[in-house]
């Protein structure tokens, strides 16, 4: 028990990176389709246990886990929430974000598979953290600053538009445009009117599942799970805001809004961006 407290104290100090001015580049990957962040930590055992294989492996494993959690903290701080703000930016502006992130990394990062031990004494541990899923997710921390924003209705179509079928979701084809995934994307029409953003949605739904999934095919498993079997597929005309926010034609935006008035797929975050 005494060691556990010491370990937690050391890890809390390492996670202080979330509140500092510098963001360090940490090795890791983000699967924007499933909303999972993954890193691998490395560690070696304490030298004093070189002649005690069991203790040496145990301390190597503990060091690898601490390294993985440190890397997660650093990596998550660089995740873009909006086109203009990263988790690091939000943590600097709102200490509630920083506090929540520390808790999320400490309590909710999980091991992937078993630790690996190598002949040179190094142990590696892979850990992952879910971006969405509820009050203990990265999104719960990310959207703290937006929880007090007033919710606004989706805009009306610019022109009267008739939709003759019921769509289960929206797929915007951004392939070939190098879209940059963000947690809070905006969809705009070619005139600059925002037709989809976090202000239009229930924040709890965003935290639970995210505003959009990113995939490579309109009908693969990720897209089917998010946008259903009969999505409305629209081709983006360009990307705005560091290539984070898709822009679609006014006519297509009108079709999306008219279709949404029937089946509420935007309200349910049934949105996919193809990359």
Quick: pLDDT tens for 28-75: 899 999 999 999 999 998 888 788 888 888 999 999 999 999 999 899
pLDDT of residue 154: 95
Query: pLDDT: is 55 or 8 the higher one?
Result: 55
Regarding whether 202 and 245 lie in a shared domain, the answer is: yes
Structure confidence by residue, pLDDT tens digits, 17-28 = 444 334 445 678
Does a structural domain hold residue 161?
A: no
Token look-up 């997710």 returns: 137
The domain of 214 spans 169-274
Task: List Cα–Cα distances, 247 to 64, 188, 235, 241, in angstroms.
Answer: 43, 5, 9, 10
Regarding whether 118 and 51 lie in a shared domain, the answer is: yes
The pair of three-digit structure tokens given for residue 143, joined into one six-digit string: 């959207």
Regarding whether 184 and 264 lie in a shared domain, the answer is: yes
pLDDT of residue 14: 46
Computed on alpha carbons and rounded to an integer, the radius of gyration of the chain in Å comes to 22
Directed axis angle between helix 2-14 and helix 53-77, to 10°? 30
Query: pLDDT: is 53 or 109 the higher one?
Result: 109
Regarding whether 197 and 127 lie in a shared domain, the answer is: no
Does a structural domain hold residue 247?
A: yes
pLDDT of residue 190: 97
pLDDT of residue 136: 83
**Percent of residues, the chain, with pLDDT higher than 70:** 91
Does a structural domain hold residue 152?
A: no
Does a structural domain hold residue 164?
A: no
- DSSP 3-state of 265: coil
List the alpha helices (DSSP H) in the chain.
2-14, 53-77, 87-93, 95-108, 138-142, 203-209, 221-227, 250-263
Regarding whether 31 and 80 lie in a shared domain, the answer is: yes
* Contact status, residue 126 vs residue 94, Cβ threshold 8 Å: no
DSSP class per residue in 160-172: -----S--SEEEE
- What is the distance, to the nearest Å, from the Cα of residue 64 to the centroid of all Cα atoms in its chain? 24
Residue where a domain terminates, one of 111, 146, 181: 146
| Rounded Cα distance, 122 and 183, in Å | 35
Regarding whether 137 and 91 lie in a shared domain, the answer is: yes
The pair of three-digit structure tokens given for residue 171, joined into one six-digit string: 């797929």
Residue where a domain terminates, one of 146, 178, 205: 146
DSSP class per residue in 164-220: -S--SEEEEE-TTS-----SS--EEETTS-EEE-GGGS-HHHHHHH-S-EEES-TTS
Regarding whether 214 and 82 lie in a shared domain, the answer is: no
| Rounded Cα distance, 209 and 44, in Å | 37
pLDDT of residue 39: 94
Query: pLDDT: is 16 or 36 the higher one?
Result: 36
Regarding whether 94 and 49 lie in a shared domain, the answer is: yes
At residue 4 the predicted structure's pLDDT band, cuts being 50, 70 and 90, is low
At 193, phi and psi to the nearest 5? -75, 130
> What pTM was computed for the model?
0.84
Number of domains in the chain: 2
pLDDT over 60 (residue 222)? yes
| Rounded Cα distance, 185 and 182, in Å | 6
pLDDT of residue 15: 45
Indicate the range of 91-95, 152-156, 207-211 predicted with least confidence.
91-95
Mean pLDDT of 94-112: 87
pLDDT of residue 131: 94
pLDDT of residue 40: 94
pLDDT of residue 157: 93
* Contact status, residue 170 vs residue 227, Cβ threshold 8 Å: yes
pLDDT over 90 (residue 212)? yes
pLDDT of residue 18: 43
pLDDT mean across residues, the chain: 88
Burial degree of 117 (CB within 10 A; 0-12, 13-18, 19+)? middle
């Amino acid at each position: 028990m005494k060691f556990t407290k010491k370990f937690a104290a050391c890890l809390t100090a390492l996670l202080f990176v979330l509140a500092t001015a510098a963001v360090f580049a940490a090795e890791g990957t983000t699967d924007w389709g499933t909303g999972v962040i993954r890193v691998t930590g490395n560690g070696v055992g304490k030298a004093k246990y070189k002649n005690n294989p069991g203790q040496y492996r145990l301390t190597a494993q503990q060091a690898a886990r601490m390294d993985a959690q440190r890397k997660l903290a650093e990596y998550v701080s660089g995740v873009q929430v909006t086109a203009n703000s990263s988790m690091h930016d939000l943590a600097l502006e709102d200490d509630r974000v920083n506090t929540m992130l520390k808790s999320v990394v400490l309590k909710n990062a999980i091991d992937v598979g078993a630790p690996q031990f190598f002949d040179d004494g190094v142990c590696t541990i892979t850990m992952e953290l879910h971006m969405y899923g509820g009050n203990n997710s990265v999104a719960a921390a990310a959207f703290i600053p937006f929880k007090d924003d007033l919710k606004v209705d989706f805009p009306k179509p610019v022109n009267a538009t008739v939709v003759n079928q019921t769509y289960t979701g929206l797929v915007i084809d951004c392939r070939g445009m190098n879209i940059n995934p963000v947690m809070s994307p905006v969809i705009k029409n070619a005139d600059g009117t925002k037709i989809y953003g976090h202000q239009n949605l229930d924040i709890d739904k965003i935290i639970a599942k995210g505003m959009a999934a990113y995939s490579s095919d309109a009908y693969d498993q990720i897209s089917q799970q998010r946008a259903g079997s009969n999505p409305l597929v629209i081709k983006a005309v360009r990307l705005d805001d560091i290539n984070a926010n898709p822009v679609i034609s006014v006519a297509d935006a009108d079709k999306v809004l008219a279709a949404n008035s029937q089946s509420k797929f935007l309200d349910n975050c049934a949105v996919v961006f193809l990359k």
